[in-house]
Chains A and B, each alone.
Chain A
Amino acid sequence: MSFLYDDGHMAIATESRRVLDARMNKDRLLKLLEQVGHYDEPFWQTAIEQGWTALAIPEEHGGLGLRLIELGLVAQATGAHTAGAPFLTVGYGAARGLLHGTDESLKEEWLPQLASGEKIATVALADASAPLPSASSVRFENGMLTGTKNAVVGGLRADVALVWAQHGEEPALFLVDLSQAARNPVNSFDNSRLYADLVFDGTPARLVADGTARQIALETLAAMAVVSAHEQLGGAEELLMMARDYALTRRAFGQPIGAFQSIKHKIAELYGLVELARANCIHAAASEGRENYLLAAADARIAATEAYDTAARDCTQIHGGIGVTWEQGLHLHMRRARSLAIEQGNLMFWEDLLVEQMTGVAA
């Protein structure tokens, strides 16, 4: 389903962008790259203060009751700034998983705390390279989890995690208090993502959803992928504008480099990828809860990943030597393009899911 943003949507887009333009700082983000276990606290404080943590949580659970469309617009603004904390996406994913689960007491306990930002949540669905495995190596027995989830985004700082773990024959969704799990830091190329191996060794966990868990997990993954896609779109669009502006001001051989077709066509192609990503993001966000939602989410994810990766590659190339310096910071986007491409399911996963949704044939 496609639609036109209304004035309310545009206000969310411009206001979130305005706040971040005023408060974000590239040097702060650059420092975080060389430290494991730290995130950009000013950004996260801004997110809480602006109500972004509450945005897509229903009002009866302490949220603002808005939807994926609005959260997507905020994610687009954070993506433009390579915001230095991953919790907007995974926090929403955890809340969404709880909301669609069967345990009312878990909702009552956790959703208001996630909405207010008092507590931070993440989601650990993947096993090794499988974003949503048909069997998990992490097992649930006697109320406890045992096993390891690798490179969980936000894992170093989250208070609680929604975990995909084996429950008898099938995997199910569990909520785990991470104060009782071991976190092994993963040194990564994008360290403010706070990746950690979460090691469970008889860690108490509560069942969120059993029978329909796979559908809930898949739809939660899709919702997070759509938020991520908006973030990717925001990053890609920012890079498009940076490439355009640089091509207008940088001169070589007696003219702006943007007058050379090898440069201007690269930028025009990028514009195309950004607009395809935007169109798919709008369509996917508005399709939540409708027929073909998973298909729309896959379209958005694929288009946004291609747009951001290409933008990172080409914008850097257009900048020449300055583009590869530490200080100039384009590598913040280059790194983020790749970390976002991996989080919430890689391209292979979404390509396969799309074709399965479209044709009924599994990979």
Chain B
Amino acid sequence: MSDYDSYRAAARAWLQSMASEFGKEARRGLSEEQDLALGRRYLAKRYDAGYGGIHLPVEFGGRGLSHVEKLIFDIEEMGFGMPIVYFSISLGMPVPIIIRFVEDREWVRERVVKALRGEEIWCQLFSEPAGGSDLAGLRTRAEPDGDGWKVNGQKLWTSWAQYADYGIMVARTDPTVPKHKGLTYFWVNMHAPGVKVRPIKLAEGGHDVNEVFLDDVRLEDAQRMSPVGGGFGVAMATLMIERYAATDSNGFGPSLDNLVELARGLEINGKPALQDGRVRSAVARNHAMRAGLDSITTRAMLSMQAGKEPGPEGALNKLFSVRSRQKLSEFAIDLQGEKGVSFDPDGLFTEDWTTSWIAAPTGRIAGGADEMLLNTIAEKILGLPQDHRPDKGIPFNQIPA
């Protein structure tokens, strides 16, 4: 057994020992507040067991292992349905990025440990009403204020901001230069005066995302994480961290086995649904797609284990898996005929096709819309030209609104 195999086995054993207390069955019927509290307790146990901050440096409270162990653990953990969603952004991007870009090491260590234990949560204040896919189009202003900064503006789609203690933020410090060049990167105390968070109810009924209003929020210059005007580079570094994130060929929806089990109990034209050519075709096509993504993921892991950079094809995962999950969820609802209209408000999107279906559009937009992912593949991997950008090189304050 390789070291990675034994790491996986140990992780799985620990997760199994936690499942009855924190897993999906334990969470059924909990309110969000109760679920979050359960999640905080789980993170504390996870940290004490040595599975918090697996790939983060030891001097910041991490375990100092590689991305491979981190991915192994994340993939194993995914199957248990633990209450970790509130911490996924916090630990995914802000925590690694403050380790890289905040100078006060003692303060960083304290934040990292508290975040890893679930005691503090970080959010990512990037998107705005005027800039989502076009991040550099953001309008939130940070202006010099004595020896610090004063921030005014509005952020949007900020995941879990309602529970966040801190945030990382990009703001415009110079509107007289082209848009990418006038941005600066900061961290923000979400409890500071002038920060107001308003949850947004989404089509699926949840309210994971928020509007964040920033009204004369005072920042010290020590909260600046990039050179003045150098914020876009740090923002890109933040988004690049995601290339090591665990993926799921189910598109974070139900498995194909789940669809097969559903179909086993159903008939079409008086015959078992699984004998219907349309059902067989849908199952087979999705199987081939998911098996391909799984093989890409396996090879990426093998590359990393061999000390090599994984291939660029990992960029396909979200695009293909979530888009097809949306269509397959429609298909699963169709398959049930009129019974398909029923809706379980407590349904999990990894197990229930209706819940999966209604949440799927969010998945296709959040964290890189399909169209942006296609642009990235076309430009970064295939070397195709950028789109025509009429605002290119024009000072931000002269771009027609």
Contact = CB atoms under 8 A, between A and B. Distances in A.
Interface of A: 2-4, 244, 247-248, 255-256, 258-259, 261, 264-265, 267-269, 271-272, 275-280, 282-283, 295-296, 298-300, 302-303, 306, 348, 350-352, 354-355, 358-359, 361-363
Contacts of A350: 284
A248 B385 contact: yes
Interface in B269-323: 272, 274-275, 277, 280-281, 283-285, 287-289, 291-296, 298-299, 302-303, 306, 313, 316, 319-320
B58 interface: no
A275 B302 contact: no
List 10 A-B pairs, minimum CB-CB distance, nearest first: A276-B292, A351-B284, A279-B295, A2-B298, A302-B288, A259-B385, A264-B378, A275-B313, A268-B377, A268-B378
Interface residues of B, number: 43
Contacts of B375: 261, 264-265, 268
B394 interface: no
A302 B284 contact: yes
B387 interface: yes
Given A276-B288, A303-B288, A267 B293 contact: no
5 contacts: A255-B385, A259-B388, A267-B382, A279-B299, A352-B284
A275 B287 contact: no
B293 A302 contact: no
Nearest to B285: A302
Contacts of A348: 277, 281
B222 interface: no
A298 B387 contact: no
Contacts of B384: 244, 247-248, 258-259, 264, 267-268
B296 A275 contact: yes
B180 to A, nearest CB: 19
B316 A275 contact: yes
A351 B292 contact: no
A259 B275 CA distance: 45
B192 interface: no
Given A2-B295, A303-B288, A361 B316 contact: no
B387 A261 contact: yes
B383 interface: yes
A4 B313 contact: no
A363 B291 CA distance: 22
Contact of A361 (B275, B302, B319, B381): B275
Given A282-B299, A359-B260, A351 B280 contact: yes
Contact of A299 (B287, B320, B374): B287
A320 B274 CA distance: 42
Contact of A279 (B274, B275, B296): B296
A272 B322 CA distance: 14
B240 to A, nearest CB: 19
A299 B291 contact: yes
A244 B284 contact: no
Given A2-B299, A359-B274, 19 more contacts: A3-B302, A244-B384, A255-B385, A261-B374, A267-B382, A271-B378, A275-B313, A276-B288, A276-B289, A279-B292, A279-B294, A280-B291, A300-B288, A303-B291, A354-B284, A355-B274, A358-B287, A359-B283, A361-B275
